[in-house]
Amino acid sequence: MSKIPQELKYTRTHEWLRSLPDGNVEIGISDHAQEELGDLVFIELPQVGRRLTAGEACAVIESVKAASDIYAPIAGTVVATNEQLAQSPELVNHDPYGNGWLMRLKPAQASDQEALLSAEAYGAVAEAG
Amino acid sequence: MLALLGVREIDALFDEIPDALRVSQLQGVGPGLSELEIMQLMRARANCDGAPLCFLGAGAYEHHIPAPVWSTVTRGEFYSAYTPYQAEASQGTLQSIYEYQSMMVSLTAMQASNASLYDGATALSEACLMAVRANRRSQSARILWPRSVHPHYRQVAQTTAAGQGLQFETLDYDRSGHCVLPELAADADLTALVIAQPNFFGVLEDVHALTDWAHARGALVIALVNPTSLGVLSPPGQWGSAGADIVVGEGQPLGCPLSSGGPYFGFMTTRLQFVRQMPGRIAGRTLDLDGRPGFTLTLQAREQHIRRAKATSNICTNQGLLMMAGTLYLALMGAQGLERVALTCMARTQELVQALCALPGVRLAFSAPRFHEAVLLFDRPIAPFLQALAAQGIIGGLDLSVHYPELGPALLVCATETRTGADIERYARALGELLT
């Protein structure tokens, strides 16, 4: 059974979102997603400063068997990306909710997050495959 | 077989295609022929070509091909035009691709090569699309290219990129034949500059200055090069202070015969940092579970059989057979052999230019140094001369009036190492008689 921390919000496309104290949000992929993808070999992250709309493809995660798009859970501007992933993409496999974070966004609108899934709701999505 | 499928006639297999989209008869294509009849027809057609003396280049070049090249390429083990499926079962094919890639990386002084593309024109198209993906500082998809890039290449790239929002802007050439850089605003967003070396006129550009100019403006440099010329010229990886970013070209001069325009192969090399943006297949060397060296297709996740519609490119194959000829050609010639070929081509073209410019009404168009082609200006239209020369078994060159009408009557000529002093004399004498 994969881990689904209670304090995070999720999407149907297996991204998670964490609200940070400074008002920004941190984004990554779920434990379930990294398990499904297998060993990650390359992660292409967006340029800092890029403006994303909700649902926009903004990163690519490549494993030994597939390459998958990552979609922005909410609209916002990229304020940071996890530069460690260039050398160590396996951090996403080992610690998807911690050191394996992908990027941080400055949200465009506060209301955006209401469309996201709770841990329970996402658990049902992940279980359904 | 039709009975097995449960259909009465072969047309039934095509029932799904609406009548409006079907062609009942192909114009000019007769009914089926037997193998014998086909052979007879093809032999008769081939004989119509004769064995002309060729001074035409313009993108495809007659070079001597050492005999071992095609006697090896046509061995059963290699005689497949295609990338293998179940690739790792074909270790020999993968190794040949790996050796090819290593040679192209060395020839262009870059870091990574793909397993080849269709031809030079599609390689340039792919390079333009790749530059848009790779240059993440640029949002404009704006690509500058000189008018002295092969006109057919520009047409192919424009067709390929038409649906993808690329904007091509054409740079003019000056009286020396060099491309002229535009004045741009300091904050202009430029994706890439294409540099052809030599350009379509055979002229050698100041590639170092052009490369540095593009990089200073945040643009990537796409080098379009003749591989033979790299026997003597600076490799693109050493252009300017940082080197070119993507290198492409037509591989035909490396061991592939002229045959009605193809099949040829395109090549592409790049920096390691852009390798995931590069289209096509890549063979890599690795170790198997027992620690023994082996070869494998690598970075396949960016290809369409895995990434589907979001693949880097719709290219999923390579020109295996022609690539193999190129690999063998380079292996047999070596660096010194390629240098000798390049130098001989330059010397022969110099002799040709001198001989033809001694004729009345013929002069050289561009003063800049050249590789193995030159543009000659005439005081009368070119086409009648080319027809009269053809009647004598001489292909005199390319009439530039279609693509470059501003030059007036202009002829692009080429002499490779296969042209002798006597050949050049024969051409000059025949043209001299026509001019007087």
pLDDT single digits (tens) B81-111 = 566 667 788 898 899 999 999 999 999 999 9
Q: What is the pLDDT of residue B208?
A: 98
pTM for the whole thing? Answer: 0.88
Are the beta carbons of B276 and A69 separated by less than 8 Å? no
Q: What angle do CA B135, A78, A54 make, to 5 degrees?
A: 100
Query: How many CB atoms lie under 10 A from the CB of residue A129?
Result: 6
How confident is the model over B363-413, as pLDDT tens digits? 999 999 999 999 999 999 999 999 999 999 999 999 999 999 999 999 999
Name the residue among B136, B137, B301 with its Cβ closest to that of A62: B301
Overall average pLDDT of the B310-317 stretch: 80
Q: What is the pLDDT of residue B363?
A: 97
Q: What is the pLDDT of residue A11?
A: 95
Say if domain B67-327 classifies as CATH 1.20.1260.10. no
Distance from CA of B104 to the nearest CA of A (A): 25
Q: Which residue of B has its CA nearest to A62?
A: B301
Residues of chain A in contact with residue B306, where contact means CB-CB under 8 angstroms, are 65-67
CB proximity list for B186: less than 8 A, separation 6 or greater: none
Distance from CA of B137 to the nearest CA of A (A): 8
Substitution target from A39, A43, A48, A62 for chain B, most B beta carbons within 10 A? A62
Q: Sign of the C-alpha dihedral, residues B402, B407, B411, B412?
A: negative
Are the beta carbons of B307 and A65 separated by less than 8 Å? no
CA end-to-end span of chain A, whole Å?
A: 12
Q: For chain A, which residues make up each domain, given as ranges?
A: 9-108
Name the residue among A64, A67, A69 with its Cβ closest to that of B302: A67
Residues of chain B in contact with residue A56, where contact means CB-CB under 8 angstroms, are none
Residues of chain A in contact with residue B136, where contact means CB-CB under 8 angstroms, are 47
Q: Which residue of B has its CA nearest to A68?
A: B307
Query: Does A111 have pLDDT greater than 80?
Result: no
Are the beta carbons of A65 and B276 separated by less than 8 Å? no
Q: Which residue of A has its CA nearest to B302?
A: A67
SS3 assignment, position B137:
coil
Paired tokens of A105? 């966004």
Long-range Cβ pairs for the range B289-294 (8 Å, 24+): B294/B88, B294/B91
Query: Does B294 have pLDDT greater than 90?
Result: yes
Query: Does A129 have pLDDT greater than 70?
Result: no
Backbone angles phi, psi at B189, to 5 degrees: -95, 110
Paired tokens of B379? 């005081």
Say if domain B53-64+334-435 classifies as CATH 3.90.1150.10. yes
Substitution target from A60, A70, A78 for chain B, most B beta carbons within 10 A? A60
CB pairs under 8 A between A and B: 22
Return the CA Rg of chain A: 13
Check residue B241 and report its DSSP letter: T
How confident is the model over B246-263, as pLDDT tens digits? 999 999 999 999 987 889
Interface contact B302, partner A, CB < 8 A: yes
SS3 assignment, position B35:
helix
Q: What is the pLDDT of residue B41?
A: 93
Paired tokens of B125? 């198209």
Q: What is the pLDDT of residue B22?
A: 85
Query: How much is the mean pLDDT over chain B?
Result: 93
* Distance of alpha carbon B150 from alpha carbon B403, whole angstroms: 10
Return the CATH number of A9-108, one of 1.10.730.10, 3.40.430.10, 2.40.50.100, 1.10.10.10: 2.40.50.100
Q: What is the pLDDT of residue B348?
A: 98
* Distance of alpha carbon A61 from alpha carbon B129, whole angstroms: 21
Q: Which residue of A has its CA nearest to B297?
A: A64
Strands A9-10, A15-19: pairing is antiparallel
Are the beta carbons of A63 and B310 separated by less than 8 Å? no
Substitution target from B306, B308, B312, B313 for chain A, most A beta carbons within 10 A? B306
Nearest in space to A62 (alpha carbons), one of A37, A79, A82: A37
Q: What is the pLDDT of residue B314?
A: 79
- CA B341 to the chain's CA centroid: 18
Name the residue among A42, A63, A69 with its Cβ closest to that of B310: A69
Q: Which of residues 117-146 of B touch A (CB under 8 A)?
A: 136-137
Confidence of residue A81 (pLDDT cuts 50, 70, 90): very high
Q: Which residue of A has its CA nearest to B303?
A: A67
CATH 3.40.640.10 residue spans of chain B: 67-327
Query: Does B301 have pLDDT greater than 80?
Result: no
CATH 3.90.1150.10 residue spans of chain B: 53-64+334-435
Overall average pLDDT of the B125-142 stretch: 94
Are the beta carbons of B302 and A44 separated by less than 8 Å? no
Q: What is the pLDDT of residue B422?
A: 98
Q: What is the pLDDT of residue B85?
A: 67
Query: Does B2 have pLDDT greater than 80?
Result: yes
Q: What is the pLDDT of residue B307?
A: 79
Backbone angles phi, psi at B382, to 5 degrees: -80, -40
Q: What is the pLDDT of residue B79?
A: 82
Query: Does A71 have pLDDT greater than 60?
Result: yes
The answer to whether B223 and B99 are in contact (CB under 8 A) is no
CA distances from A18 to A10, A28, A107, A116 (A): 9, 9, 12, 11
